[in-house]
Amino acid sequence: MAFASLATNTTEAFVTLATNDDYSLGALVLGYSLREATTSKKLHCMITEQVTTPVREQLQRVYDDVSIVDVLASNDEANLALIGRPDLALAFTKLNCWRLTQYSKAVFLDADTLVLRNVDELFEREEFSAAPDIGWPDFFNSGVFVYRPNEETYRALLHKATTEGSFDGADQGLLNSFFSGWREASSAFRLSFIYNVTGGIFYTYAAAYKKLRDQVKIVHFIGTQKPWRGGVGIQMPEFAQIWHRIYERHVAGTVPGSSGTETIA
């Protein structure tokens, strides 16, 4: 009897989003990078109907759960706000991660992130924890964050999105407005930069990169130059190479159009 309270759901998961086959390539590599880092957490990928069957099948091989989210059919309020604002569609789609209430706590990772070593310690943090954005460090970057799935939070976020929109047209602006206390909150909510290392900074602070690159745990390939869109890219070439190695090991040749230098097909 004394243990009855332990029956509450304590499952924790890493969550990502891929609305199409293109971003699914990122999600696949991210999933395998988490496996290679021997995480003990569940892996969950949200997709939309746009993701084709063979790609879904590959996602299901690495993710414990792949669920379909459909922004446009899900909520009248959201539908209205999206009319004439296609830029907001993605922000709305990401919000669905708060609806995954089968998990007590979750870490959201953009599909363009790559995990280099075990980061399960992130689950010791509370909502809302994130790392600073390099462009304006008083705002957090929304590619990596710790949160608690909760329908009420989801509805509140949706309401804010529909009434106020997003100051940058994307999820990052919306989430920074909603969790505006983050900037002044205790350092416990401020994740170290090693959990969300974005390109660009190395050109302005190359010495820091040289000193700390061995401690980097999560890399984030922001911008349009995604690793799956060809070559090693100009962003953080040594990290992009690690991305490509995981891609070659697990993904190349498994889904239509996913060629690689060592294509299996």
Point out which residues pair with 220 in neighbouring strands. 113, 198
Amino acid at site 240 = A
Cα separation, 57 vs 54, whole angstroms: 5
Residue 110 Cβ vs ligand UDP, minimum distance, rounded to whole Å: 3
Cα separation, 235 vs 57, whole angstroms: 30
Cα separation, 111 vs 108, whole angstroms: 9
- Report the residue number whose CB is nearest to ligand UDP: 110
Which of Mn ion, ligand UDP, none lies near 137, with the C-beta cut-off 5 to 8 A by kind?
none
Residue number, 20 or 60, with CB nearest to ligand UDP: 20
Interacting residue with ligand UDP among 97, 112, 115, 194 (CB under 6 A): 112
Window 204-233: residues binding ligand UDP (CB under 6 A): 222-223
Residue 220 Cβ vs Mn ion, minimum distance, rounded to whole Å: 6
Residue 218 Cβ vs Mn ion, minimum distance, rounded to whole Å: 11
Binding mask 76-95 for ligand UDP (x = CB under 6 A): --------------x---x-
143 contacts Mn ion (rule: CB under 5 A):
yes
Window 138-157: residues binding ligand UDP (CB under 6 A): 143
17 contacts ligand UDP (rule: CB under 6 A):
yes
Q: Cis (ω within 30 of 0) for the bond into 221?
A: no
112 contacts Mn ion (rule: CB under 5 A):
yes
Stretch touching ligand UDP by CB under 6 A, among 66-74, 80-88, 108-116, 231-239: 108-116
18 contacts ligand UDP (rule: CB under 6 A):
yes
Residue 133 Cβ vs ligand UDP, minimum distance, rounded to whole Å: 9
* Tokens at 162, concatenated: 């529909």
Looking at the chain, the number of H-run helices and the number of E-run strands are 10, 9
Residue 23 Cβ vs ligand UDP, minimum distance, rounded to whole Å: 4
Interacting residue with ligand UDP among 14, 23, 92, 140 (CB under 6 A): 23
Cα separation, 218 vs 142, whole angstroms: 13
Cα separation, 1 vs 9, whole angstroms: 17
In the chain, which ranges are continuous DSSP H helix?
21-36, 53-62, 71-74, 76-82, 89-95, 151-164, 171-178, 201-204, 206-212, 237-250
Residue number, 129 or 141, with CB nearest to Mn ion: 141
110 contacts Mn ion (rule: CB under 5 A):
yes
For 144-185, give the DSSP string. EEEE---HHHHHHHHHHHHHH--TTSSHHHHHHHHTGGGGGS
Residue 112 Cβ vs Mn ion, minimum distance, rounded to whole Å: 4
Contact footprint for Mn ion (CB under 5 A) = 110, 112, 143
